[in-house]
Amino acid sequence: MRLQRWYSITTKNQWYNRQSHDKYVKLAQKHGYRCRSAYKLFEIQEKFNILRRNDTILDLGASPGGWSQVASKYGNTISVDLLPMEPIDKCQIVTGDIHDEEIIREISQHNVNVVLSDMAHSFTGSRTLDVARMDELVEFAFSIANILLKPGGNFVAKYLQGSGEHGLRSMLENQFHSVSMFKPKACRKESTESYFICRGFKPINNI
Ligand SMILES: C[S@@+](CC[C@H](N)C(=O)[O-])C[C@H]1O[C@@H](n2cnc3c(N)ncnc32)[C@H](O)[C@@H]1O
């Protein structure tokens, strides 16, 4: 019990220490973004220009809302997450699991230009399980994109490096003009997260 308490104090201290020295945490606080991950989307946007003025954007795994804050600068955004989220201007917030039929029905009313997925589960500690769950989220986000994206639309999805990314990439290449894999500098160095950046949706084999 004492050891557990010591461990949780140590990890909390490490967390505070890391947060207070992190360049992107400081930038987010300074510029009013809810979390440092907003800077991942800024980097993706700067390099790949996936968001355009007046786009309709679906943001999956949106809470606490950093990506939605960035996306809603371009156009109306539908933000879905298991967790609740504080309101954002030009953002429709949908709270629930993306696998839930009611949630799918609600978001299916929209035809969108861009689907973003920064969805991630809490890590379990088992690399095999974490990778499998993450791959499933990428595939599920892609199946949603396949239904809702307008021709020519763009799709961004987080995946874990060292997973089934090459299989996932082949699947995506069938339906987009270009697919890149990109790890923004704002991702933590020790993290294996990275992003598929898929541009130019070709709605051929609708699934
Ligand atoms: C890394 S956070 C997203 C951070 C967000 N992009 C931002 O900038 O604030 C990952 C999110 O994915 C959400 N998530 C995971 N599985 C989900 C699911 N099945 N349906 C909806 N959201 C999910 C989690 O609740 C979590 O808030």
ipTM for the assembly: 0.99
Name the residue type at position 97.
D
Cα 202 to ligand 1 centroid, rounded to whole Å: 27
Report the distance separating Cα 92 and Cα 102, nearest Å.
Answer: 16
| CB of 192 closer than 8 Å to CB of 169 | no
Q: What number is the average pLDDT over the span 74-95?
A: 98
Sorting pLDDT into bands at 50, 70 and 90, what band is 17?
A: low
Q: Is 164 exposed, middle or buried (0-12, 13-18, 19+ CB in 10 A)?
A: middle
Look at residue 205 and tell me whether its pLDDT is greater than 70.
no
Active site residue 158: yes
Ligand 1 in reach of 103 Cβ (< 6 A): no
Q: What CATH number was assigned to the domain covering residues 35-201?
A: 3.40.50.150
- The dihedral built from the CA positions of residue 152, 153, 154 and 157, taken in this order, carries a sign that is negative
Sorting pLDDT into bands at 50, 70 and 90, what band is 3?
A: very low
Mutate to test the pocket of ligand 1, among 63, 114, 139 (most ligand atoms within 8 A of CB): 63
From the list 12, 30, 90, 158, the catalytic residue is 158
Phi, psi values for residue 79, rounded to 5°: -115, 120
Mutate to test the pocket of ligand 1, among 31, 101, 118 (most ligand atoms within 8 A of CB): 118
Q: What number is the average pLDDT over the span 154-166?
A: 91
Question: Which pLDDT score, from 0 to 100, does residue 151 have?
Answer: 97
Q: What number is the average pLDDT over the span 113-124?
A: 96
pLDDT tens, residue by residue, 58-77: 999 999 999 999 999 999 99
Q: Which long-range contacts (CB under 8 A, 24 or more apart) does 18-22 make?
A: none
Q: Minimal CA–CA distance to 199: which of 140, 149, 147? A: 149
| CB of 203 closer than 8 Å to CB of 62 | no
* Closest approach atom of ligand 1 to CA 59: 6
Query: And the tokens for 65?
Result: 């809302």
User: pTM of the predicted model, to two decimals?
Assistant: 0.91
Question: Which pLDDT score, from 0 to 100, does residue 6 have?
Answer: 45
pLDDT tens, residue by residue, 120-155: 999 898 989 999 999 999 999 999 999 999 999 999
Cα 30 to ligand 1 centroid, rounded to whole Å: 23
Q: Minimal CA–CA distance to 66: which of 94, 46, 86? A: 86
Look at residue 100 and tell me whether its pLDDT is greater than 90.
yes
Q: Where do the domains of the chain lie?
A: 1-32, 35-201
Query: In this prediction, what percent of the chain has a pLDDT beyond 70?
Result: 89
Cα 138 to ligand 1 centroid, rounded to whole Å: 12
- Average pLDDT over the chain reads 92
Question: Which pLDDT score, from 0 to 100, does residue 1 have?
Answer: 44
More confident position, 19 or 123 = 123
Q: Is 21 exposed, middle or buried (0-12, 13-18, 19+ CB in 10 A)?
A: exposed
Per DSSP, which regions of 50-175 are E strands? Answer: 57-60, 77-81, 91-95, 112-117, 149-160
Q: What number is the average pLDDT over the span 2-23?
A: 63
CA angle 60, 53, 141 (to 5 degrees): 20
Ligand 1 in reach of 35 Cβ (< 6 A): yes
Query: And the tokens for 177?
Result: 């003009």
Ligand 1 in reach of 64 Cβ (< 6 A): yes
pLDDT tens, residue by residue, 38-53: 999 999 999 999 999 9
